[in-house]
Amino acid sequence: MVDVQSQPDDRRIPLQKVGVRNVSHPITVLDRDHRTQQTVGELDLYANLPHSYKGTHMSRFIAVFQQHAGDIRMPHFLDMLDDVRTHLDAERAFGVLRFPYFMEKHAPVSGQASYLNYHCSFSGISSEVQREFFVSVSVPVTTLCPCSKEISDRGAHNQRSTCTVTVEVEQFFWMEDLIELVESRASSGLYTLLKRVDEKHVTEHAYDHPVFVEDLVRGVTTAIEDRFRFPWFSVEATNQESIHTHDAYAYVERGRPPMEKPCNLTV
Amino acid sequence: MVDVQSQPDDRRIPLQKVGVRNVSHPITVLDRDHRTQQTVGELDLYANLPHSYKGTHMSRFIAVFQQHAGDIRMPHFLDMLDDVRTHLDAERAFGVLRFPYFMEKHAPVSGQASYLNYHCSFSGISSEVQREFFVSVSVPVTTLCPCSKEISDRGAHNQRSTCTVTVEVEQFFWMEDLIELVESRASSGLYTLLKRVDEKHVTEHAYDHPVFVEDLVRGVTTAIEDRFRFPWFSVEATNQESIHTHDAYAYVERGRPPMEKPCNLTV
Amino acid sequence: MVDVQSQPDDRRIPLQKVGVRNVSHPITVLDRDHRTQQTVGELDLYANLPHSYKGTHMSRFIAVFQQHAGDIRMPHFLDMLDDVRTHLDAERAFGVLRFPYFMEKHAPVSGQASYLNYHCSFSGISSEVQREFFVSVSVPVTTLCPCSKEISDRGAHNQRSTCTVTVEVEQFFWMEDLIELVESRASSGLYTLLKRVDEKHVTEHAYDHPVFVEDLVRGVTTAIEDRFRFPWFSVEATNQESIHTHDAYAYVERGRPPMEKPCNLTV
Amino acid sequence: MVDVQSQPDDRRIPLQKVGVRNVSHPITVLDRDHRTQQTVGELDLYANLPHSYKGTHMSRFIAVFQQHAGDIRMPHFLDMLDDVRTHLDAERAFGVLRFPYFMEKHAPVSGQASYLNYHCSFSGISSEVQREFFVSVSVPVTTLCPCSKEISDRGAHNQRSTCTVTVEVEQFFWMEDLIELVESRASSGLYTLLKRVDEKHVTEHAYDHPVFVEDLVRGVTTAIEDRFRFPWFSVEATNQESIHTHDAYAYVERGRPPMEKPCNLTV
């Protein structure tokens, strides 16, 4: 049977990125409190394509990924990319794996337990000269506006906000530790189950800890630099402003920039 | 050229609904303050299909709609459905047209003008025995929690909320009047542009007018019954709770139920 | 601490539906081939609210659901709704739980295994006089256009299509059996991993089994009536037409209509 | 009234990006065939924030944009960013404006007219040393698989695909010309209204012009280099594979890289 993809191409146009997107697959990741967690991954996986080949063999991306899906822990993600390079005969392989990750949380006063869902991702790139790996966690929080509090005789507008931290990883860390760090710098963390005593607590705690979207990313930045040693990281936050239909946003990045920023891998 | 769709079908299974979905098209609608407004419509349009026909002629839905898109005002929507019935040789035609609709608003103290986008829709059904037409407006507002205010020594959690009103229409009304009615029953309306004096005002106004999601739909219901005479309507509200990642929701409907509720037309 | 929600309300407006939406939670469901499957559920859960109460206690929905999330099998869903009625002191409880569900499939010629993700849901309603439970499966397939094949000298346009079947359930059945039934009536089923021999097979099989979106829902209807005994069911299909940017759609329902159709529970 | 945002911040953390997201607004853009087109824009607008300021004045982004929304033509986008810099007292301003854009198209045989919606965007950055402006057009097309055609005795799988071209602009051009160029390199362009004679034509034309996702981006690249003189551009394509639930993807960029790639402005 003819291998059309392997036929030569004479247009002399190398492609930076060829691959598969939105592959849905059950995956298993590490869990600080329960050893492992089974969840649902969504994968984008790419390689470069030299100018002399007409097409890539898309099914090989799937075949390689399937062999790794049962144990996608941080140290293994780049190993999977190495396998992609080998099986696709490519110079560079890269990709991103998005997944919901659940943590059990305890309400601040009653101690009631419930699960909260954090959108996380692993991404990375592998080549002869480059091995970069990133972890991203999106943490939903409350932010209460310092300006609204200051200028108003009573109350202050507040809202759901999402703070996303993306870190370049050189040694293993627990995503849970990063998530708790973000929650500690917001006006309040969120919970799926709150009793009235808890609702009073989070309301007053938020009122006592107002943060602009700018304050949130700066506070998280300072806390990360105090506690972790990532070669590079970014912090962004989006406030779903309760007084507008548009959002407020802030972004900061710190450290030595990687050869490829995650946005180049994942967009 | 063979007309495959018109061939007979012997499975004896009539279809309740056959048609096109997500047709994007420029449309013109009426505007209370500027006579007309050009916007972008997204259309679902259907007819029934008797058991004896193999298929419908999908292109005819498009052809009929195109003739009406330049003047989609309320009184004309059912006329378009009548044309669908005729051209498709169907007993029943129905559909929904969703569109963003902009109103110019003035900040409550400074008077600064800005536009706010409301998601609206027209839907309806036409048959020999049935002509029903519905208008839906989704109004983003602020809601501030009465429980949080009552039990807390300071502050109160509040959030962006969306209140959607769907009304059966027998005589023309302005969507703008319905939108303003909803905003008047929330803790506060929203604005795209607020100065500091306005932010102080909306913060304090929201604190002084706390509403549960249940209060919001009841308040809007009462106001609609005071002001309008719709044969049937529903009010629903979704709070993007600032202390949770899930939403709080309430729904009420009033009046003589139509033969088809809008959910049967639009899902 | 004051219980604001339990305060009386004098507006005399009962609410048909009050509750929580988009609650994300890990769940365990039954699996025909592997006994159980851990996945990620998204829940909407409601009760009615009599006119005399100001508000509902939203946290109780979460508390009840948490006790059942570890074993959400079909026979238990209505039990959970019964618990909601009891804990909320409501006449009616209802809701929907959406979740991705994976099946391992084997490529038609090479036999290569891979996972495919099906969007499924459970929904239901419980009251003194009513216990109705529904299961819905969305099956992605290929459809190839009979008209395009008939009138063209070569080729035929085809596309990704989604066929969603919703059934009222009185006795247990395997979702996998329903999924396989749908795939057998499309131009072709889909696979995550196909080798070239498989690609040849699915291409030719699709060309040899053209179906309009109308044919697909009729074929599935006939097959369901041959094999199952559901008191009521609906079949809908959406073609992501490869020659248009809009979709083609067909819907059919059969049997004795339930007191509440699923669209009234889930919208 | 206190200006909280202008208070000093001593954490010494400058922010690369602060601003507003998802601002919805009516806009007017140029139209090759009808002079101007009114449509609906969605805006993200940012500036940098020096370390010494606590917060930015979010309302100023809106105020500046409002003055320009009535005439957002290509040459004016950077002028708007200049105004943002001035009003926010910032070194750098940047942003992206997304909008649906409609073109009237004529079916290939019958000549029937209909509208097709293209997702477009303007983005750019302005600073003392940098003025870069980008236009992006997303063009839905049909792609038919060369491998499937070659190895199968009859038929070939094909699907809806989206090809997005992003160009750095130094002199005015018509988006319509770029859109038509992309459509000419796909297996077929798409149409909202096709008669049977047209459906035969597009089916056979697609069968006679098979392209991998890799071929599509290379073909568009070659055509752009033949016809335009953009200092930099990228071409990406996503096939909604009709035989899979995941997508196939290819990306290429050409020319002298700008100081900021659009992904850094728009993510």
Least Cα distance to C234 among C180, C178, C171, C151 occurs for C178
Q: Is D134 helix (H, G, I), strand (E, B) or coil?
A: strand
- Distance, first Cα to last Cα, chain B: 35
pLDDT at A267 over 80: no
Nearest CA in chain A to C199: A59
Q: Express each pLDDT in B132-189 by its tens digit.
A: 999 999 999 999 999 999 999 999 999 999 999 999 999 899 999 999 999 999 999 9
Q: Is 90 exceeded by the pLDDT of residue A5?
A: no
A102 interaction partners in chain B (CB closer than 8 Å): none
Q: What pLDDT is stored for residue D11 in this prediction? A: 85
- Cβ-contact A45, A65 below 8 angstroms: yes
Q: For residue range C73-112, what is the model confidence (pLDDT) as tens digits?
A: 877 899 999 999 999 999 999 999 999 999 999 999 999 9
Q: B66, D193: Cβ pair inside 8 Å? A: yes
Whether B49 sits inside 8 A of C250 (CB atoms) is yes
The 3-state secondary structure of B100-141 reads: EEEEEEECCCCCCEEEEEEEEEEEEEEECCEEEEEEEEEEEE
Minimum Cα–Cα distance from A14: chain D residue: D252
Q: What is the pLDDT of residue D159?
A: 97
Chain A to chain C, count of Cβ pairs less than 8 Å apart? 66
Question: For residue D12, what is the nearest residue in chain A, using CA coordinates?
Answer: A218
D5 and A212 in contact by Cβ < 8 A? yes
pLDDT at A264 over 80: no
HEC-encoded secondary structure of chain C: CCCHHHCECCCCCCEEEEEEEEEEEEEEEEECCCEEEEEEEEEEEEEEECCCECCCCHHHHHHHHHHHHHHCCHHHHHHHHHHHHHHHCCCEEEEEEEEEEEEEEECCCCCCEEEEEEEEEEEEEEECCEEEEEEEEEEEEEEECHHHHHHCCCCCCEEEEEEEEEEECCCCCCHHHHHHHHHHHCCEECCCCCCHHHHHHHHHHHHHCCCCHHHHHHHHHHHHHHHCCCCEEEEEEEECCCCCCCEEEEEEEEECCCCCCHHHHHC
* Dihedral (CA of B214, B216, B222, B228) sign: negative
Using the beta-carbon criterion (under 8 Å), do C249 and B18 form an inter-chain contact?
yes
Q: Which residue of D has its CA nearest to C118?
A: D245
What pLDDT shows up at residue A9? 86
Residues D28 and D26: their CA atoms lie apart, in Å, by 7
Mean pLDDT estimate for chain D? 94
Residues of C in contact with A117 (CB under 8 A): 24-25, 40
Closest Cα in chain A to C64: A193
Report residue C234's pLDDT band, with 50, 70 and 90 as the boundaries. very high
Task: Report the pLDDT value the prediction gives residue B175, as an integer from 0 to 100.
Answer: 97
Q: How many CB pairs under 8 A join C and D?
A: 129
Q: B13-68 pLDDT, tens per residue?
A: 999 999 999 999 999 999 999 999 999 999 999 999 988 888 889 999 999 999 99
Q: Which residues of B touch A159 (CB under 8 A)?
A: 158-160, 240, 242
Quick one: closest CA in B to C146, which residue? B4
Q: What is the model's pLDDT at position D260?
A: 83
Between residues B245 and A53, the one the model is more confident about: B245
Which of B59, B192, B197 is closest, CB to CB, to D62?
A: B192
Residues of C in Cβ contact (< 8 Å) with A3: 196
pLDDT of residue C267: 66
pLDDT tens digits, one per residue of B86-108? 999 999 999 999 999 999 999 99
Q: pLDDT tens for residues D106-157?
A: 999 999 999 999 999 999 999 999 999 999 999 999 999 999 999 999 999 9
Q: Which chains touch D (3 or more CB pairs under 8 A)?
A: A, B, C
Higher pLDDT, B263 or B7: B7
pLDDT tens, residue by residue, C8-21: 888 889 999 999 99
Nearest to D62 among B39, B40, B193 (CB): B193
- Interval A176-201: pLDDT, tens: 999 999 999 999 999 999 999 999 99
pLDDT of residue B6: 86
Nearest residue on chain B to C7, alpha-carbon basis:
B147
CB pair distance less than 8 Å for A243 and B199: yes
pLDDT at residue D248 is higher than 70: yes
Q: Is B22 left (phi over 0), alpha (psi -120 to 50) or beta?
A: left
| pLDDT score for C108 | 97
Q: What's the pLDDT tens digit per position in D45-90?
A: 999 998 888 888 999 999 999 999 888 887 789 999 999 999 999 9
Task: Calculate how close chain B gets to D60, using CA atoms only, in Å.
Answer: 9
| Number of Cβ within a 10 Å radius of residue C135 | 23
Residue B71 pLDDT grade (very low, low, confident, very high; cuts 50, 70, 90): confident
D208-237: average pLDDT: 97
Q: Which of A157-161, B232-236, B243-247, D70-74 has the lowest mean pLDDT?
A: D70-74
**Is the pLDDT score of D266 beyond 80?**
no
- Cβ distance of C59 and A1 shorter than 8 Å: no
Chain C interface with A: residues with Cβ < 8 Å: 1, 3, 23-26, 37-40, 59, 62-63, 66, 100, 102, 112, 114-115, 117, 192-197, 200
Q: Read off the pLDDT of each residue in C228-257 and give the average, rounded to a whole number.
A: 96
Q: Please give the average per-residue pLDDT across A209-231, as a whole number.
A: 97
Of B13, B46, B217, the CB nearest to C221: B13
- A80: its two tokens: 């999977």
Q: What's residue B97's pLDDT?
A: 96
CB distance C147–D192 less than 8 Å?
no
Residue D164 scores a pLDDT above 90 = yes
- Which subunits sit against C, judged by 3+ Cβ pairs under 8 A? A, B, D
Please check the confidence at residue B266 and state whether its pLDDT lies above 80. no
pLDDT for B267: 66
In the predicted model, what is the mean pLDDT of residues C190-200?
97
Is 0.90 surpassed by the pTM of this model? yes
User: What is the mean predicted confidence (pLDDT) over D230-250?
Assistant: 97
Q: Closest Cα to residue B160, out of B248, B251, B240? A: B240
- What topology is assigned to D9-257 in CATH? Urate Oxidase (3.10.270)
Residue B236 has pLDDT above 90, yes or no: yes
What is the structure's pLDDT at B86? Answer: 94
Chain D positions touching A252 (Cβ under 8 A) are 13-17
Using a CB–CB cut-off of 8 Å, the residues of D that contact B are 1, 3, 23-26, 37-40, 59, 62-63, 66, 100, 102, 112, 114-115, 117, 192-197, 200
Tell whether the model's pLDDT for residue B8 goes beyond 90. Answer: no
Q: What is the pLDDT of residues D192-206, one digit of tens each?
A: 999 999 999 999 999
Does position D5 have pLDDT exceeding 90, yes or no?
A: no
Cβ-in-10-Å burial (0-12, 13-18, 19+) of A154 comes to: middle
Task: Say yes or no to pLDDT of D9 above 90.
Answer: no
pLDDT digits (tens, 9 = 90+) for A57-98: 999 999 999 999 888 887 789 999 999 999 999 999 999 999
